[in-house]
Amino acid sequence: MFNDAIIVQTAVSAFNNAALYAPTFLWLGILMLPLFWMARVAGPDFVAHQTILPGLHRPATRADNYALVVLGTILGWLILMGGNYGVLRDAMSTLPYAMAGVMFFVTTLTVRQGRVVAPALPAWIANRVRRPRLMRYLVLLMVAVVAGAFGAPGWTGFLMAAASVLMGAMVGRAMPRGMNAMLGTVLAMMMVATLMLMQPEFFHFGQLGNLTLVHMGGLILLGAFAAATLALRYVHPRGRIHHSAYVKLKWMARLVSILAAALFVLTESVPVFLGLTGVIFLMCVMSVWHAERVPADLATRMWAMTMGIFGILTGMPVITVVGIILMASLPGASWRRGARFLI
């Protein structure tokens, strides 16, 4: 009466839907709390004694070194995460092209940061390499081949993914060193978050149309901290806005943010998410511009919080650990007290 294959397929499909519906990243984050605690306690000591990135413990070069670790981890995740191309509902989906574009952008920033930081190779590798330039080209070619192998099915998918890595490396090598490391990492994290919202099943993040409040709350927090990071980094306190006008504008921005957040929860729309992030950014810009002064290192603390939330959402504990170590290495009071004026 019933086909056994159909019964098994239906059971597997139901199991996959249940697994996608649950916020798996939340449970993984809870299970990794001991790792995060160890990073908080022992992370600064590890940074001070490691030799591969000696600039990690120097304030002048700290941001570039942390950015290299974050961007390299994101690039490796984009290549090796094993995105499920079988869940794409439309044969003409733009997600493979968007993935290639983000991979190109992240590769460009990673190579650019590698040129700025110039990490030292371990002694056991440096002593055995006679032609370091040839080795770098071979490593780049291998990364491109692996990216193509994990790309979209077919030879066009292989070429598109491999070319995005190779072209990104070429552009990154020719890119000037003036771009801020904080801006590049925040843009890369927001691009990945936007792709995850576009097709959550592909990234094993959730089920399209059935994201829970935990999923959407995590994305809203990521957008809020990213917006605060950029506002604090690029806007200087001037004390220019009249206080009464500032209060009215601030309440209007809060109301718009609440309405946008409610609309995002109801629709799970990418434009609404980007619009909500933009409203929060404008609210933070207004707060910083109105302030007489901003607490020291607050932008770096917001950057660390952005990395921590992004690492949990994507299942990359390395990025969360980097954010925790960065936060632990900063002197001063808690970031909560200094950031109250932003909201």
Residue 255: per-residue pLDDT:
92
* 10, 15, 21, 25: CA torsion to nearest 10: -150
Interacting residues of 231 by C-beta distance below 8 A, sequence separation 6+: 281, 284, 285, 287, 288, 342
Residue 209: per-residue pLDDT:
77
Instruction: Retrieve residue 191's tokens.
Output: 């691009």
Q: Are 100 and 164 in contact (CB under 8 A)?
A: yes
pTM of the model: 0.85
- 3-state SS, the chain, equals CCCHHHHHHHHHHHHHHHHHHCCHHHHHHHHCHHHHHHHHHHHHHHHHHCCCCHHHHCCCCHHHHHHHHHHHHHHHHHHHCCCCHHHCCCCCCCHHHHHHHHHHHHHHHHHHHHHHHCCCCCHHHHCCCCCHHHHHHHHHHHHHHHHHHCCCCCHHHHHHHHHHHHHHHHHHHHCCCCCCHHHHHHHHHHHHHHHHHHCCCCCCCCCCCCCCHHHHHHHHHHHHHHHHHHHHHHCCCCCCCCHHHHHHHHHHHHHHHHHHHHHHHHHCCHHHHHHHHHHHHHHHHHHHHHCCCCCCCHHHHHHHHHHHHHHHHHCCHHHHHHHHHHHHHCCCCCHHHHCHHHC
Cα 100 from Cα 95, distance rounded (Å): 9
Residue 1: per-residue pLDDT:
45
Residue 89: per-residue pLDDT:
61
Residue 9: per-residue pLDDT:
44
Residue 111: per-residue pLDDT:
87
User: Which of the residues in the chain have pLDDT under 50?
Assistant: 1-2, 4-15
Q: Break the chain into its structural domains and give their ranges.
A: 23-342
pLDDT in tens, 112-123: 888 877 666 666
Residue 107: per-residue pLDDT:
92
Residue 321: per-residue pLDDT:
92
